[in-house]
């Protein structure tokens, strides 16, 4: 895939940085730091560059091209896709979706602006939420808290269904433990009852 030549450029305009040179449309390689140990080299992109101070401006079409190359190579979501997903999930603000997803409050803003990129695993996570909005609603409502056994009201324990083997093989036969209606009581018995005594005699 070749980088498209921008239809709009600053070529011929005076550089606002040095006020001496003018911009020209040139081609150059660009390294994008997606992660610290894995920069991506995008070759032969079009740039507006000052012929005096070297100031570089990325035309809009070039920026979109770079985003598409990164997305293809890393399976990342582009800033445009992240914005569309956020709007499809309820027209939320960037801060709101960051809070719902358990991110830093400004994280989604950084992703959409292109100053940072979500990891590949995070992109998978976001794609799942986009494909199944009911999962996102479940996440937003923190629905797992409703089924948290720790905070549920305590109910009587059905010992018969939890420990059927225990009751049948031990409690019922020995009479040592008795469970009824979720309550337990203990009956004291002689531990030597029913045992044969063995006496060792010294000659």
Closest CA to 55 of 21, 31, 86, 80: 21
Answer yes or no: do 83 and 142 share one domain.
yes
Domain tally for the chain? 3
pLDDT score of 165: 63
User: What is the C-alpha to C-alpha distance for residues 96 and 99, in angstroms, rounded to an integer?
Assistant: 5
Domain check: are 62 and 85 in the same one? no
Asked if 51 and 103 sit in the same domain, the reply is no
68 lies in some domain = yes
The arithmetic mean of pLDDT across residues 167-180, rounded, is 49
Instruction: Report if residue 1 sits inside a domain.
Output: no
- Angle (nearest 5°) at CA 94 between 41 and 37: 25
Q: Are 29 and 41 in contact (CB under 8 A)?
A: yes
66-106 per-position pLDDT tens digit: 888 887 887 888 888 999 999 999 989 999 999 999 998 89
Six token digits for residue 136: 């996102």
The string of pLDDT tens digits covering residues 14-31 is 999 999 999 999 999 999
Neighbouring CB atoms inside 10 A of 43's CB total 11
Does 85 lie in the same domain as 63? Answer: no
Is 31 within a domain?
yes
Residue 141 and residue 159 share a domain: no
In a domain, 13, yes or no: no
Residues 100, 138 within the same domain: yes
Asked if residue 86 and residue 70 are part of one domain, the reply reads no
Q: Is residue 18 part of a domain?
A: no
Is 161 part of a structural domain of the chain? yes
Question: 140 with 162, same domain?
Answer: no
Percentage of the chain exceeding pLDDT 70 = 69
Tell me if 14 is assigned to some domain.
Answer: no
Q: How, if at all, do strands 23-32 and 56-57 pair?
A: unpaired
Largest CA-CA distance found in the chain, in angstroms, rounded: 121
Asked if residue 15 is part of any domain, the answer here is no
Question: Domain containing 93: what range?
Answer: 79-146
- Are 118 and 141 members of one domain? yes
Average pLDDT value over all residues in the chain: 80
* Inter-residue contact 170 to 177 (CB < 8 Å): yes
Average pLDDT over residues 180-186: 46
More confident residue, 199 or 33: 33
Give yes or no: residues 113 and 159 share one domain: no
CB 71 within 8 Å of CB 38: no
CATH code, 32: 3.10.20
> What CATH number is associated with residue 125?
1.10.260
Segment 140-169, tens digit of pLDDT: 999 888 765 555 555 556 656 666 665 555
User: How much is the pLDDT for 153?
Assistant: 53
């Amino acid at each position: 895939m070749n980088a498209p030549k921008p239809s709009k450029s600053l070529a011929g305009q005076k550089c606002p940085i040095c006020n001496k040179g003018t911009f020209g449309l040139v081609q150059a390689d660009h390294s994008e730091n997606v992660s610290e140990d894995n920069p991506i080299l995008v070759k032969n992109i079009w740039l507006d560059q000052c012929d005096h101070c070297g100031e570089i401006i990325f035309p809009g079409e070039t920026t979109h091209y770079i985003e598409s190359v990164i997305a293809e190579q890393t399976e990342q979501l582009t800033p445009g896709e992240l914005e569309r997903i956020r709007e499809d999930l309820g027209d939320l603000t960037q801060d709101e979706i960051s809070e719902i997803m358990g991110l830093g409050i400004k994280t989604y803003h950084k992703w959409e602006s292109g100053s940072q990129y979500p990891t590949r695993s995070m992109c998978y996570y976001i794609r799942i939420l986009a494909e199944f909005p009911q999962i996102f609603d479940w996440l937003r409502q923190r629905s797992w808290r409703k089924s948290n056994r720790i905070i549920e009201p305590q109910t009587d324990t059905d010992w018969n269904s939890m420990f059927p083997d225990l009751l049948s093989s031990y409690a019922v036969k020995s009479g040592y433990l008795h469970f009824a209606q979720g309550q337990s009581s203990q009956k004291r018995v002689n531990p030597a009852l029913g045992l044969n005594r063995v006496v060792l005699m010294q000659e």
